[in-house]
Amino acid sequence: MIELRGCRKTYYNQHGQAPVLALDGVDLTIRPREFVCILGPSGCGKTTLLKAVAGLVPLDEGEVRINGQPVTGPGPDRAMVFQDFALLPWADVLSNVAFGLELRAVPRATREPTARELIIAVGLAGFERHYPRQLSGGMQQRVGLARALAVNPEILLMDEPFGAVDAQTRRLLQEDLLSLLERSSKTVVFVTHSTEEAVRLGDRVVVLTPRPGRVRDSIDVDLPRPRPPDVDKLPRFADLTGYLWQQLKEMQR
């Protein structure tokens, strides 16, 4: 279980500009094995919230707890997938996927078969010795996803992971993600700007206010799992996306 209580974060800079209050009193509980999408206007603190859970940014006030233990830094129970892929440009696909396992001192005899299995699972069999520059954006993001899953985290943190690819590739990656998660029980926190993506993927959508970010609403996504490929044609899908869009529109007036 992930618990955020009274989370407040201000960013300062060295150029004399006014401080930026990113989060202000965020309270949120995420249940084990729940897929929660974080939605809100640009600059509302979505990524800051995610990084606080990852242990990558310290809070000014409040705390994040995972299974009752305070988060004081990154941990093996969490893995993060970034929008910009964050691959090692000098390493091939196999080495990139196995990188987290190597950092954890997993022997090569174990980490390479694990990496190869996940490379197959994300549809990149045959590309093990290719380098990031030789891959499309969608393929690079598959490598990033496989790398995160290789360390078998309890919690998967995803920061707009499909935001840098075209619409067709984005849809394929969404379906691939759902398929991969059906095989494992993980808690997922997924930041997105897209109401459709949030409803397509999530068990629940948490809406943040414009900066400073606070929780405005939390909506359960009562759609079937596994999600059918044509889930967007269900009347309930339209109801939920319409409701979320109305909230976003109201906050930007």
DSSP string covering 158-204, please? EESTTTTS-HHHHHHHHHHHHHHHHTS--EEEEEES-HHHHHHH-SE
- Percent of the chain at pLDDT above 90? 64
For residue 19, the model assigns a pLDDT of 85
DSSP 8-state symbol, 233: G
For residue 135, the model assigns a pLDDT of 93
The answer on pLDDT for 44 being more than 80 is yes
Domains of the chain by residue range: 1-77+155-172+185-253, 83-152
**pLDDT band (50, 70, 90) for residue 172:** confident
Instruction: For 181-223, write each residue's pLDDT tens digit.
Output: 887 789 999 999 999 999 999 999 999 999 899 999 999 999 9
Q: 1-77+155-172+185-253, which class in CATH?
A: alpha beta
Per-residue burial over 123-132, b = 16 or more CB atoms within 10 Å of its CB, e = otherwise: ebeebbeebb
Instruction: For 144-169, write each residue's pLDDT tens digit.
Output: 999 999 988 999 999 998 887 788 88
Compute how many other C-beta atoms are within 10 angstroms of the C-beta atom of residue 253. Answer: 4
The answer on pLDDT for 97 being more than 90 is yes
For residue 131, the model assigns a pLDDT of 95
**pLDDT band (50, 70, 90) for residue 16:** low
Compute how many other C-beta atoms are within 10 angstroms of the C-beta atom of residue 246. Answer: 11
Q: Compute the distance between CA of residue 225 and CA of residue 239 in angstroms, rounded to an integer.
A: 18
Per-residue HEC secondary structure of 21-89 comes to EEEEEEEEEECCCCEEEEECCCCCCHHHHHHHHHCCCCCCEEEEEECCEECCCCCCCEEEECCCCCCCC
DSSP string covering 89-104, please? TTS-HHHHHHHHHHHT
- Percent of the chain at pLDDT above 70? 99
Long-range contacts of 218-226 (CB under 8 A, 24+ apart): 218/28, 219/243, 219/244, 223/199, 226/178, 226/182
Backbone phi and psi for residue 220, each to the nearest 5 degrees, phi listed first: -75, 135
- Which one, of 221, 249, 225, lies nearest residue 236 by Cα? 221
Instruction: For 133-143, write each residue's pLDDT tens digit.
Output: 999 988 998 99
Looking at every residue in the chain, the average pLDDT score rounds to 91
Q: Between 201 and 170, name the one with better pLDDT.
A: 201
Once rounded to an integer, what is the mean pLDDT over residues 230-234? 92
